[in-house]
Structure 1
């Protein structure tokens, strides 16, 4: 295999390209999250209904990835990723023209479908082209781009909305994403280790079933589900909490809180380095425990403590996600794109379910009820991580014994 080696110009260009790609995806996907209280006010809808502006995108993204990831097995990786980024950027701009909330949901659904051409294929490309010894770092930098995009999308829309309205804020996100698309196009080299295969629906179903028969992969898939479900539930409704008494914060001020996502940019890269010394299993457990601690701190009625808690949660979340996502690519011996698609299908499915379910807990039981739901999600993630570690140890022991 002709792998891209760490320290080379090709490695740096690849990292820059995927940093831009992650920035594009997450700025478009999450730009509506701080706007939910504004949607509730402008369209006269409940918090749970407003959360659909994100949920419809993530569920469309989740379903579409199952097919687009497989389509890349025959059409190639780079072509689909570039088309995906361009179309989603244009649709983001068109969202600003929505005459009502129903039309906005339609466009946001289309955004989810178009974005699906990037995440699972990105993981497959990195798994095929980058030296396995450097994959953790490359994946960490890609997820750092996700974190930066999430920060920019949330902060930009929150700040611009207070002064010019949410429509201009969303247009700005779309234009910035077009620039990121161009950077990706000129920076990423064509695949060298990719071997096209004929797209067969029967083969697709067989490969999906094979991945689902691997208990380790199934654990990883549901780790992704509960991870993003907890994240979206927490951040969908933090704005509703902070605009109320005793905080009474403005939309612009609340948008600054999303700077916390920059911690995720550091966390994913930092965790990638520590894996080499301490192993994936230990680092996954540590990151999950840090996230649980952070969530519990948000119950304290102090803005400073809440921000500290959110920061700890984000640190653990991005660290755990970078470990789980790279683990999927390494564990799946074949059909890596489908395995990545299944992981992200449940990852973004968790976003849709967690985000909407969180609205029910928030509306019925307040912040304490929402936090109970989020902690439950994270405890389930912890249990799955323990199962995954035991499965991995058992497989290693059996391999050594048979040898």
Structure 2
């Protein structure tokens, strides 16, 4: 495995880290949002719920879309959406705007881990693929464990500071754009059907990783 190939794995690992951290980051922060947003605990709970809903819905589409136009062409915008929407959440003046931006952010998160896993499957042979998937597994676990601590620590400054963490996917998008190869060289035109959409639900591992 060459140095460039190892670098690809590092990028995919970081993508997966942020994909997992996207949900876990705000867990300890929700109670802190109640007073600044002048909202109830139930209403603030939608900050996570609407994000999860958006992620679950759009994850159903991204497989077919990347088959049609390419993996990298979707991964890079997903990273940008996540980072830009995260900054928007930081600036959100009220809960309504925050929920809209969280829905948009969920769209970005939806493509990150699944596309990274798909690209690994297309880039590497069996032995290197096992190594790469192992790295992904480790980084997603690190993301799940560390994100609540990161979010909680940033929230000590202000309730909206944790959203700035998402902005790190913007430079990651630039790096992915210039470094990663397109793995789906000859995209296939495929219709998005309900059968194809719901076949994604059979991949329990993807949903486990994301949620």
Same-fold status (TM-score > 0.5) = yes
Structure 1 residue 199 corresponds to structure 2 residue 194? no
Q: Check whether the contact 1:21–1:181 (CA below 8 A) recurs between aligned residues.
A: no
Alignment correspondent of 2:64: 70
Structure 1 residue 45 corresponds to structure 2 residue 23? no
Measured against aligned partners, the alpha-carbon deviations of 1:278-324 in whole angstroms (never above 9, x if no partner) come to xxxxxxxxxxxxxxxxxxxxxxxxxxxxxxxxxxxxxxxxxxxxxxx
* 2-structure distance, mates of 1:35, 1:79: 33
CA change 1:106–1:207 in 2 (3 A) is closer
- What is the Cα-based RMSD across aligned positions, in Å? 2.6
Alignment correspondent of 1:104: 98
* 2-structure distance, mates of 1:186, 1:145: 22
Instruction: Give SS of 2:160's match.
Output: helix
Q: Check whether the contact 1:65–1:117 (CA below 8 A) recurs between aligned residues.
A: yes
CA change 1:23–1:34 in 2 (3 A) is same
Deviation at 1:37, TM superposition (A): 1.6
CA change 1:92–1:36 in 2 (3 A) is same
* 2-structure distance, mates of 1:190, 1:15: 14
TM-score, L = length of structure 1: 0.47
Alignment correspondent of 1:24: 18
Structure 1 residue 189 corresponds to structure 2 residue 181? yes
- Count of matched residue pairs: 210
Deviation at 1:140, TM superposition (A): 2.2
* 1-structure distance, mates of 2:158, 2:16: 26
Which of 142, 155, 158 in structure 2 is aligned with 1:165? 158
Unmatched 5+ stretches in structure 1 = 1-6, 225-324, 326-342, 352-403
Bigger-Rg structure (1/2): 1
Structure 1 residue 60 corresponds to structure 2 residue 54? yes
TM-score, L = length of structure 2: 0.84
Structure number with higher relative contact order (C-alpha < 8 Å, ≥ 6 residues apart): 2
* 2-structure distance, mates of 1:175, 1:23: 14
Higher helix share: 1
Unmatched 5+ stretches in structure 2 = none
Deviation at 1:56, TM superposition (A): 1.3
Instruction: Give SS of 1:34's match.
Output: coil
Deviation at 1:41, TM superposition (A): 4.0
